[in-house]
Amino acid sequence: MATPLSADKLLKALRDEGLHVVEHRSWRTNNRNHKGSWGPMHGVMIHHSVTSGTASSVELCYNGHSALPGPLCHGVIAKDGTVHLVGSGRANHAGLGDDDVLRAVIAEKALPPDNEANTDGNRHFYGFEAVNLGDGKDPWPEEQLLAIERAAAAVCRAHGWSERSVIGHLEWQPGKVDPRGFGMDWMRGRIGTRLGGAPNCPPSEPSKPPASKPTYEPFPGAAFFKVGRSSKVITAMGKRLVAEGCGRYAVGPGPRWSEADRKSYAAWQRKCGYSGDAADGIPGKASWDRLKVPNV
C-alpha cells in the first residue's frame, strides 16, 4: 500500500525527471481532504482539460467551479511542457470508476473494459490535466507529450510502479473520452521505456503519436428525441453539453430523454447562434454534428 507523496517529494520527483515545474499559489495546502480519504495510492490518471490557454487552465484547475470545487488535479501540463502544480492531496479529478479497473491497476495487469462507476478514484489516483480542447483536432506538441511521459514516470518511479499504473480517464469512468488525440497504450509504452532507463533520459519513441480518427455518433433524427426514449446516446450527448458549458441538469445527465436534456440542448443551440424556434431544444443535424457526441 503506497503512502501519498508529500508536496516536497512530489516536487522533487518531477524535477528529478527533468521537468520544468511551476508552483502555483498555495498548491501545497490546496486539497479536498476534508471531503474524503486520500490514499493509499495506486496510480496516475491522465486527462485533457477541455480548455485553451495556460493561465486560465491553471486557475480553473486550482479553483474549480461552482459545480466542482478545486483542485481539479495535482498538476496542469501546458503545451510547452511546463508542469504547474495546483494541488497536494485529494483532488476532484477521477470521480467514480470501475472497481475491476482499479484491481487491474493494483496488480499491474491489462485493463478490463470500464463498464460501471462504483469506486472512488479521487482517493487513489494522482491526476494530471493536459491543456487541450479534447476535440480530436487540437494538436499535442511533442514538448507536452514528453512532459506527460515524464510526469507519469516520475510518480511511478517514486512509488516503484510500472507503466501499468498509468491510465487515462477514459479507461476509468464510462462515458469519458480523455485524453483524446493519442492512445494510452502508446503513452504507456513511452513511460515503460523511460522507467527502464535513468531519470531525465531523452525520449526514445517517435515524436508523433499514431494517427487516430475520432468517431462520433451520427445524427439519429429529430424523432429520436422524445419522452420515454432511453439510450446511451442521450447520456453521451448530455456529457458533451456539460463539457460545453450548456448543462442544465440538477442530476445527471442520464440515458432517458428529459426536460433537462431539452433545456441543455436549447442552450447549445443558442451557443451555436440559433434563436427562436430554431433553439427549441430538439437536436437538428447541423447542431448535432457540431456537438461531436462520442461514439457509444
pLDDT score recorded for residue 206 = 47
Digit-coded pLDDT (tens) for 50-90: 999 999 999 999 999 999 999 999 999 999 999 999 999 99
Q: Which pLDDT belongs to residue 197?
A: 76
- Spatial strand order of the sheet with 43-48 comes to 21-23, 83-85, 75-77, 125-130, 43-48, 166-168
| Helix or strand holding residue 265 (H, E) | helix 259-271
Provide the pairing of β-strand 75-77 with 125-130.
parallel
Whether 193 has a pLDDT exceeding 60, the answer reads yes
Higher pLDDT: 194 or 209? It is 194
Phi and psi at 77, nearest 5°, equal: -105, 110
Q: Per-residue pLDDT for 203 more than 70?
A: no
pLDDT in tens, 124-174: 999 999 999 999 899 999 999 999 999 999 999 999 999 999 999 999 999
- Which residue in 197, 178, 181 sits closest to 18, CA to CA? 197
Report the interhelical angle of 259-271 vs 232-243 (nearest 10°): 50
- Residue pointed to by grid coordinates 495535482: 74
Comparing C-alpha atoms, which of 122, 139, 121, 119 is closest to residue 131? 139
How many other CB atoms are found less than 10 A from the CB of residue 290? 12
Asked if residues 179 and 46 have their Cβ atoms less than 8 Å apart, the reply is yes
- Quick one: CA dihedral 178, 8, 79, 246, positive or negative? positive
5: amino acid identity, one letter? L
| Lowest-confidence pick of 183-192, 211-220, 238-247 | 211-220
What is the distance between the alpha carbons of residues 296 and 112, in angstroms, rounded to a whole number? 17
State the DSSP code for 228. T
Residue 92 has pLDDT above 90, yes or no: yes
Q: How far apart are CA 151 and CA 156, in angstroms?
A: 9
**What amino acid occupies position 273?**
G
The contacts of residue 104 (CB under 8 Å, 6+ apart) are 110, 111, 112, 164
Rounded distance between C-alpha atoms, residue 142 and residue 79, angstroms = 9
Residues 6+ apart with CB under 8 A from 253: 234, 235, 237, 238, 239, 241, 242, 247, 260, 261, 264
Element (H, E) at 85: strand 83-85
Of the candidates 188, 201, 110, the residue with the CA atom closest to the CA atom of residue 156 = 188
- 108 falls in which pLDDT band (50, 70, 90)? very high
